[in-house]
Chain A
Amino acid sequence: MRTHRLLAAAGAIALVGSVVSGAIAADYPSKPITMIVPWKPGGTTETMGQVLSKALTKNLGVKVLVKTRPGGGGAVGSTVLANSKPDGYTIEFVGISTLTWIPMTQKAVKYKTSDFTFVAGVSQYQMSLVGTPGKPYSTFKELIAHSKANPGINVADMGGMSKAFVNFIAKQEKVDWTAIPTRGGGEMVPFLLGGKVDFAFSGGVHQKYGEKMIVLASFLSNRLPLAPNAPSTQEMYGVAMPGDNGIVAPKGLPADIRAKLEAAVKVSIDDPDFTKILERIKFPKRFLSSKEFDQVVADTLVSLNKVAKATGYIK
């Protein structure tokens, strides 16, 4: 009898204690969360965002609503996020190139990388340099040797950052490449397979073509999971493209809310539906904790600064 009463009292005290100490975090989330996706409905990132929002809804216990704000390579939606309250009720699912390369090179963009709290990484775009079989080069090294003997060969880029990186490599290796602009994978693929360009930048579309395309190098800080023999630009030149995407909030997000969101993302990316969609679009999962995400962004800024300066995008 006595022990029972004691136990009950202890239980009550523990309950009250936990409620008091966790008051702020326990409140969150208490109303629907808006998740901005800065791309048009229907694209890869938006599809990922839609499925992720459903998994987050399950794990946070409140509705996570996707709001698409397309425009400016993600800059429009990110501007909206930078101007919202850091209360955890407005978050964004975005690729970090939008928050790093764009404010660095476009002076009209009103936000800086420091205007955001990086919550958790989700996945990684597979940016790489690709060629086709039957060319005199099948590795990056051979490509450079071939380029030195044949100045002026054509490489397809997709504008902006990809062009800067292609030019950066050419400068480092002292080779002469002509960068041909293309509007994304839909145009790059026929150019490459039709032999109109010699090799190309790919944002990940090459994965659909299996043997028809060869990865020559990874533009990321790591080698691509599906092409472990191709070197990364990080190993060769100490620079890498920002390939990660994830959940971001405005700066000043309270630490406990950040931790809650981070935990929810960690569980959500193993959701069966989300796993299925990543398998379909062939993007690898890459969870980054808040701490790791901050580090990736910091490294990215150093890399991008180096590339942008060397290629004349910034002075």
Chain B
Amino acid sequence: MELEMLQHLGAGFEAAFTLTNMLFICGGVTLGIIFGVTPGMGSVTALAILVPITFYMSPLAAIAFLVGINKGGTSGGAIPAILINTPGTPEAAATALDGYPLTQQGKPLKAMKTALYSSVCGDTFSDCMLILLAAPFAAVALTFGPPEFTSIIIFSFTLIAALAGKSLIKGIMAAVVGVFLSSWGLDPVDGSARLTFDMVELFDGVPLTPMAIGTLALSSVIAQIFALKKSGEGAKVDTSLDKSDSFREDNKLPPREFWGNWKTLLRSACIGTGVGMLPGLGVSLAAFLGYGAAKRGSKTPELFGTGTIEGIQATEASNSAVVGSNLIPTIALGIPGNVAAALLIGAFMIHGVVPGPLMMIEHGALVYSIFASMLMANLVHLVIGRIGITIWVKFVQIPKKIILPVVTVFCFLGVYIPSNSMFDVALLLIFGAIGYVMRKSGFSIVCLVIGFLLGPMLEMALRQTMLMHKTDLTILVTRPISLVFLLLTAFFIWHFGFRGRIGKKEPAKEAEQAGD
């Protein structure tokens, strides 16, 4: 089994180690870091607007490119958090706690290096877990039928609604609206038209691309434009780096100091990987859980928040470890772990690859090439991230009045080019407005998008169950795996709905922004 896996991985490296593929990985990681560093952007925005570009790539190059973006974006957010105390991405919020004090002490480079190395460590650990676990998980999932999928999807809904937003009720409402939007179009069983208003454009339902770009990217731009109008650009930040010898000495990161905290790195990588495997739990939650656990486990917890590199390691290893492991449910079950994975599922489908238990069998060679590309991307990430460290700093200084119009243009291009349709552009505008209202009123956009993606899966699984078992729904409780997930669902609803929620303070405000 292990040997076979290594052979597959070897073949994967062979397929992935081409110049084109390397260029796409490098491009992806670089773009990801830039988006992560740029204020108000982040990897989800980058993925949403760049997925349409991958229409024109080979499946391997497309996924390698997108995974590169996700990796770069997750670590890039740490840079503005460290330099100007403004996290580029919500998952880097905890990085600012110790990163910014280090900058104030004149050690910004040291903090940035720590963040980068920790990210790559967490990421690599998580990718290894993905490679080890994806095949056995998929083998188990292959025995699942519609009843099991029905229960698992119901369970995923509960987790997402409970954890992705500020309130369970608002989360459920957003998810329900997402499911409702996904029900438009031709009925999958008998082909009758549902809410299509006699428009052929709506036969396949609301298209994902304008929906995702509108709610996730465009609405964020709109929100920032209004904020900009209210408060102005703010003072120009000075992020120029000192060149003196003492500065250089202060910013050295001796390997012994970095690896001295290997326990923290490992702990955070495990937390991030675990969070990534469960659907709906955000990257930001992983970051705060990792930081919290490191503080509790430390011999010197009083140093946390004053500029200890252990705090940065704890956060960055944890949030980057989500990136690999959230592909486990994606590949094994076809259920996205979070919004980034949901967008990746969209990209897979474009290339005729249906994520789910059969993917390992049907497209095994492609999957292992993707795994190989992910490991290669980690190395690329380390090299590019380190070489470019003085360049990324410059992106922190770009004023929003320049960034926002550029991103707006990309939103429109991403929707129009693959569809050639002004109808889709109109949808983009509508969803941009809906997303803005949701942001302002505290409804989780993440819940909306995931509800939109899971809705059709739930409908199909439930209707298949009913047809196969002649409308006898007791099958949902007589099949053991199905029963386990239904009981878990009941437990979580009781736990979150009636007993208050775990980790209420920190993860709540973060995850709300996870769509940014």
Binding site for B on A (CB under 8 A): 40-44, 67-73, 75-76, 79, 105-106, 108-110, 152, 154, 159-160, 163, 178-184, 186-187, 189-190, 194, 196-197
Contact = CB atoms under 8 A, between A and B. Distances in A.
Contacts of B196: 108
Nearest to B456: A183
Contacts of B468: 154, 178, 180, 196-197
Q: Which of A42, A189, A190 has the most CB of B within 10 A?
A: A42
Contacts of B189: 159, 163, 181
A163 B191 contact: yes
A178 B418 contact: no
Nearest to B52: A41
B476 to A, nearest CB: 15
A70 B185 CA distance: 14
B391 to A, nearest CB: 33
Contacts of B193: 106, 108
B420 A67 contact: yes
A106 B143 CA distance: 37
Given A44-B352, A154-B468, A178-B468, A71 B190 contact: no
B203 A152 contact: no
Nearest to B353: A186
B204 A69 contact: no
A69 B55 CA distance: 14
A108 B191 contact: no
B243 to A, nearest CB: 49
A72 B358 CA distance: 26
Contact of B188 (A109, A159, A194, A196): A159
A73 B470 CA distance: 29
Interface of B: 55-56, 142-143, 145-146, 186, 188-191, 193, 196, 198-204, 207, 350-352, 354, 356-358, 362, 418-421, 460, 463-464, 467-468, 470
B200 A71 contact: yes
B198 A187 contact: no
Nearest to A152: B470
B423 to A, nearest CB: 8
B204 A159 contact: no
Contacts of B202: 72
Given A42-B351, A108-B193, A178-B470, A194 B143 contact: yes
A42 B354 CA distance: 13
Per CB-CB distance, the 3 closest pairs between chain A and chain B, nearest first, are A72-B203, A186-B354, A108-B198
B200 A75 contact: yes
A79 B464 contact: no
A69 B418 CA distance: 8
B352 A108 contact: no
Contacts of B467: 154, 178-181
A111 to B, nearest CB: 9
B188 A106 contact: no
B142 A181 contact: no
A181 B188 contact: yes
Nearest to A205: B362
A42 B200 contact: no
A160 B189 CA distance: 8
Nearest to A194: B142
A42 B57 CA distance: 9
B191 A159 contact: yes
Nearest to A108: B198
A41 B357 CA distance: 24
Contacts of A69: 419-421
9 contacts: A40-B55, A72-B200, A76-B421, A105-B191, A108-B196, A108-B198, A180-B468, A181-B460, A186-B358
A183 B459 CA distance: 12
Contacts of A190: 142, 356-358
B191 A160 contact: yes
Q: Which of B143, B191, B420, B464 has the most CB of A within 10 A?
A: B191
B201 A196 contact: no
A70 B419 contact: yes
